[in-house]
Amino acid sequence: MTINVAVSGAAGRMGATVCRAVQAADDMALAGRADPELEVALEDVLGDADVVVDFTIPDQALRNARLCLEAGVHCVMGTTGANFSELEGVGEANLFVAPNFAIGAVLLMEASKRIARHMPECEIVELHHDHKLDAPSGTALRTAEQIRTAGGNVHEPIHSVRLPGLVAHEEVVFGGPGQTLSLRHNSIDRESFMPGVLLAVRRVGSLERSPTVGLEQLLES
């Protein structure tokens, strides 16, 4: 069965990459491209879509997710810098949110939780291209939340670096008596996010709760 996917933010860096990934997937069809730059509104593509993938801007993301859910269209949300908890129970469709769709970033978070049990003191440095609107990154906030839940002490502030030449990078540095341990993940190309985005498109319709947050929720342990 073909999944009809519309992309919100289709003219952007991530949106354009998602359009190409959807077109290359055997089980998906690109049902629409919404973006003010293309003069196409999200409302105009909802009728043809089973799933919307949103990579837009922080102050539009909540509105876009609500539009999808109220129209009965599942939503895969990649836009960071917004809180979607108020959308619990809205509409019949499901919302899946991931601050980071790269498997390496998810594995960094998982490893950090284990390390924090033994070396709780740590700092997070996140580094991104200089067009990123939110800081600290959604990935860094999620990493901090997970480390704290595991008993770690994430020092404030989280450090945010914005420079041309970077894509998306995160380093967690743990320190204990006489030793440090650093974990670093680098997304050097936006292709790194595509397997996670396509997995979420395939799974969003069968989620048990909405919103579901975090790619780790969709991965085998």
Residues with a catalytic annotation lie at 128, 132
- Which CB atom, from 142 or from 174, has the smaller least distance to ligand NAD? 142
Pick the stretch among 6-14, 43-51, 114-122, 140-148 that binds ligand NAD (CB under 6 A).
6-14
Cα gap 94→4, rounded to integer Å: 15
Least separation in angstroms between residue 178's CB and ligand NAD is 36
Count of residues near ligand NAD by CB under 6 A: 29
Least separation in angstroms between residue 114's CB and ligand NAD is 22
Which residues from 121-140 bind ligand NAD, rule CB under 6 A?
132
**160-164-166 Cα angle (round to 5):** 65
Which residues from 35-74 bind ligand NAD, rule CB under 6 A?
35-37, 42, 55-58, 60, 64
CB atoms within 10 A of CB 80: 23
Q: Can you say whether the dihedral through the CA atoms of 27, 102, 186, 136 is positive or negative? A: positive
CA 71 from chain centre, in angstroms, equals 22
Q: Is there binding between residue 117 and ligand NAD (CB under 6 A)?
A: no
The strand order across the sheet containing 95-97 reads: 28-34, 3-8, 51-54, 74-77, 95-97, 212-213
Beta strand pairing call for 212-213 and 95-97: parallel
Contacts with ligand NAD by CB under 6 A lie at 8-9, 11-15, 34-37, 42, 55-58, 60, 64, 78-81, 98-101, 132, 168, 193
